Amino acid sequence: MRILIALLSLWPLLAQAINLSDPWPLDSQLAVQAPCVSTLPAEPLTAVAAVDLALCRQPQTREVWALARSQAAQWALAEAAWLPRLDGKVQATRSEGQTQSVNSQTAALSLSWLLLDGGQRTAGRDYAGALLEAALGSRDATVQTVFLAAVQSFHAAQAAQAAVQAAGEAERAAQASYAAAEARYQIGAGTPADRLQAKTAWSQAILNRQRSIGEASNARGALAYALGFPASTPLVLADRPVLADVPAMHQNVDRLIERALVQRPDLRAAEAQLRAAQASVAVAQAAGRPTVTLAAGPSWQRLAGQESQSSTLGLTLNVPLFTAYDTTYRVQQAVAQVDVRGAQRDRLHHQVALEVWRAYQNWQTAGHSLRMTADLMASAEQSALVALGRYQAGVGSVLELLSAQSALASARLQRIQAELDWQVSRATLAQAMGILDGAQWPAALEEKK
């Protein structure tokens, strides 16, 4: 019993010495996730705030962060395989016989240390490290996907809100046209047909405004869902920025593709998966090699009142002689997996280049459209003013007036759509290049050579 008490009394000291510090803290392998605000701000919602909410509340981001932490712990386990193991064992037995009872207590400390493993621990560490890099790349790719979805939903909701305002302006213009037609009809200068046509155009404008209100509600619901809220959550959006001058693209597409091939997190993850597959070949090969283990430790025994103490020190050599071809086929499987990961990496390599090419062309087109719609808006506004003045002066027809107002309403919607396309295509290009991080991507796209 004294042996048992002595060994148990040592346990707190041993545990404190062993767990004094974490030799491989996970925070050193992971960029610590910054605290986030999960509630809607009191002020109108901006694009930056929308992205922050989406990254904080979406389950995808929590999932990839947890997977990265899990893989970091797996890497730490691979590193810990180099450390020795210390175990304590205490046993108390009582044997009952016909004439007497015998009590015995035994205690032992056992130190084991794998000295030679044929490279298995090194390969396992490389394998776990590559999988950690792959998990970090997948995490960053998922974060950028959530980022892009939030940006797209926010600008779509802003565009839908602007469409409601444009529809309201078209309705007021149609109402003014009807008032002018009614005034001309009352003094006998207009025809009933002009009055009815103006009334029909006004009714159509009211209907268009009601439809745009419904579409704006749907867009706000989609944005709330993208941010991790119920679709019925009321959202107040900030006003759209005025895009008076569109920054020009100064970089050529080949340079953007080169940057994407370096910066895309999913491509980095694919490269890491390939390295992990290559390391798994070494793991499989090392499993068939000899190992040498050091074992040492004291032991104590008390039997029928007699105490004894002994200690052991030895080396164990383990040589796999025949493993039923287990090592052979595991190596063949690992080599085939290297080919699979290599082909996946090459396929993603081509896909990234194509995505950047398409995103670049879409952004160029959106920029041209945005500049053209500015001219279209200016001419349509001037045309509508002239047509209204001509009709009020009695020298223009109602068809001319209604046609000019319809063209103006169409120009407003085309301008809104062009702004939406430009904002979304810019964010899509940044995501295709792997630089959609909320800080550097606009400047990175617009910098000069």
**Region 297-325 average pLDDT:** 85
One DSSP character per residue, 10-66 reads HHHHHHHHHTSS-SS-GGGTSPPPPP---S--SSPBPHHHHHHHHHHH-HHHHHHHH
Domain 85-116+290-322 has CATH 2.20.200.10: yes
**Region 215-229 average pLDDT:** 95
- pLDDT averaged over the chain? 86
Closest CA to 239 of 169, 168, 161, 166: 161
Q: What is the pLDDT at residue 243?
A: 72
Q: Quick one: fold of 46-83+117-288+324-446?
A: Outer membrane efflux proteins (OEP) (1.20.1600)
In contact, 174 and 209? CB cutoff 8 Å: no
Q: What is the pLDDT of residues 68-108, one digit of tens each?
A: 989 988 998 898 888 898 888 888 887 776 667 777 888 88
Q: What is the pLDDT at residue 13?
A: 52
Q: How many CB atoms lie within 10 A of CB 270?
A: 22
Closest CA to 205 of 390, 377, 412, 369: 412
In contact, 281 and 328? CB cutoff 8 Å: no
- What are the b/e assignments for 102-127, b being 16+ CB within 10 Å? eeebbbbbeeeebebbbebbbbbbbb
Q: What is the pLDDT at residue 3?
A: 47
Would strands 101-116 and 306-318 be described as parallel, antiparallel, or unpaired? unpaired
For residue 237, the 8-state DSSP code is: B
For residue 243, the 8-state DSSP code is: -
**Phi, psi dihedral angles at 136 (to 5 degrees):** -65, -40
Enumerate the domain spans of the chain: 46-83+117-288+324-446, 85-116+290-322
Tell me which H or E stretch contains 436: none
Q: Is 91 exposed, middle or buried (0-12, 13-18, 19+ CB in 10 A)?
A: exposed
Q: Which residue has the higher pLDDT, 394 or 160?
A: 160
Structure tokens at 348: 């993603």
In contact, 273 and 128? CB cutoff 8 Å: no
In contact, 427 and 156? CB cutoff 8 Å: no
pTM reported for the whole predicted model: 0.81
Query: Any idea how long the chain is?
Result: 449
Q: What is the pLDDT at residue 104?
A: 82
Using pLDDT thresholds of 50, 70 and 90, give the confidence band for residue 322: confident
Q: What is the pLDDT of residues 131-171, one digit of tens each?
A: 999 999 999 999 999 999 999 999 999 999 999 999 999 99
Whether the per-residue pLDDT at 368 is higher than 80: the answer is: yes
Q: Give, in order, the Cα–Cα distances in Å from 438 to each of 47, 148, 193, 213, 229.
A: 10, 10, 56, 30, 21
